[in-house]
Structure 1
Amino acid sequence: MRRLSGHLQDPVRFRDLAWEEAAVQQTRSARNDTTLHVLQDSLRAKQGAYDDQRQTAQKRGWTSADACGTAHATSFAIKQKPPDVMPSSEHEGVARRVCVSRVVRVAEAVDRLLSDPSQLDADTFKEIALEVQKPALLEALLDILQRKRPHDTSLQERRAQLHAFNSDWKRWAATADGYTDPPIGTARDQLHVQSITQLSAERVFAFLLHLPNAPQPDAEDIASFIGGSLESYSRCVVDGQTQLRTKLESWNEMQRTAPERDARAQQQVQQMCRAEIADEEERSKEIAALRIRVSEESARIEAERIAITIPRTMQVLNNASCRLTDAP
């Protein structure tokens, strides 16, 4: 039985020193173990990152500061000329072949429609009407226009353009299907006339297909369609030559400046190598210092770890303030 004091405080206060020391030691050990585990985890992480960095550097041949002096960068000089880079003497012929191949794809579809107009729908009609047609169709239209305008001297210029187009056609049209990798554009490209001639083009194309109830094209429609087609073909040839010339000039410029760019790249690679080696050395020092700290911390923890045994026998803890009362 414990009697309260006059100040309403429990007089039976006691201390078990052995238990206190064990509790303190246990708490301290747990805290120390946590600190040690954090340090060990940090050491493993830093060591792993260092090993990965070292392995990557060794694959590049960056094994030491001395080795950085012989580190090589990839050369900018291309030994094999790309297939779309060709001599200037071939530019015009290649450009004409590309332009002919773009017309051939449409000409094949138009030939099928001319033999069977029932396959034609509205969307296909509008799309094909704005494509450049093959020389034979343009020549037939030009003959019609010549009869409508017998004194139009400008038609001689159109015949000269058509003659050049027809010469290219005879030379390249037969091999267009096998021309699957042109040096400019793609094999799916087609050649269009300007959209400003759309209405005239639709009238002319409807006339060529003999569509029922189609309005007859007048001389202006035919002239617009022929002119638009021939101008589009001429622009295609000129633009093609320009693109091929740009490719050749870019190639020559790259080859000319390759030694200078190689030297700069070599310098940059060697600087990167030296910076990498310096970083590795710094990381190695940090890891060594951390390893020493882990070792010292582990030794300190073991030194402070004291085995304390709590007595198992019953003891009188506070005989002065603990009093038993007699039973009634």
Structure 2
Amino acid sequence: MGIYLRENPSEWQEIKTRASLTNPWFSAVGVEEAVTAIADNFLQADLLRNWADAYVVPSDRPAAKTVGIVMAGNIPLVGFHDWLAVFVSGHNSKVKLSSKDAVLLPHLVKKLEEWEPGVAGYTSFAEQLKSCDAYIATGSDNTSRYFEYYFGKYPSIIRRNRTSVAVLDGSETAGELVQLADDTHQYFGMGCRNVTHLYVPEGYDFLPFLNAAKKYSSYFDHPKYKNNYDYQLAILLLNHQYYMSNGSVLLVENPAIFSPISVIHYSYYPPGEMPLEKPEHNNSIQCIVGHGHIPFGSAQEPGLSDYADGVDTMQFLSYL
């Protein structure tokens, strides 16, 4: 599958185009970035072997269970890692796709079954997940309550809203600020690994970052993104609230780590005090970007062992 994604045949190009046409938030660039990250960081033989070797993965499937997977649709193939973990661990998956991302994974599963007919039936797709032995469900804080109600009596991983933050110290290079713009802007900022809040030292100069973020000025040509920007700008103006902008993103001082599309929140920390040593919103933070944390520009490039919400999916599956 990794070879297929990297060779990018015309058949796969057509599927990616269809995914972009089905969901306007799935830009051609965004789909390509997501696919490349999966091919490079997940679907390499040595990476997969090392990942599997860290767990008790059976050579056959004597005790295969059926795992229901509820997938999100905020970024392309966001549920791929869950499906891959179930497949590698030797279980069957029954997948409920998001209507926003219902094109890419079914095609890849179909191709996998063409290459290896022996795995036919390992993966199925359904609108309702019934008669499963375990569940992995990803959604919002609101939908998680329903997941708890329906799936709580089974072995389950239930994920809620998460986002990511950056801790800046003022010594960031121009190149690092461009990479930070990738962390904030990729996929229109809609992923849980997108940075939506900046912790900055008092007196921080935002102009270099705003200039670096002009890399994504084309977002203002995207109708849905522009509508969000215009709406958020109107609210700020009506409330006479201070903001900064480079014309395509809004910087607003706000302690909340979650921010709307087209907005990045920031807050100051005093000299000599590093934020997030005792993070107030720790349960809502997926990853932290900055010196001493995840390198700039790599927030949206997790490895196989970078599990969502910090819950080891493979370990969970090995216990079934």
TM range (shorter): under 0.3
With normalisation by structure 2, the TM-score equals 0.21
Greater percentage in helix: 1
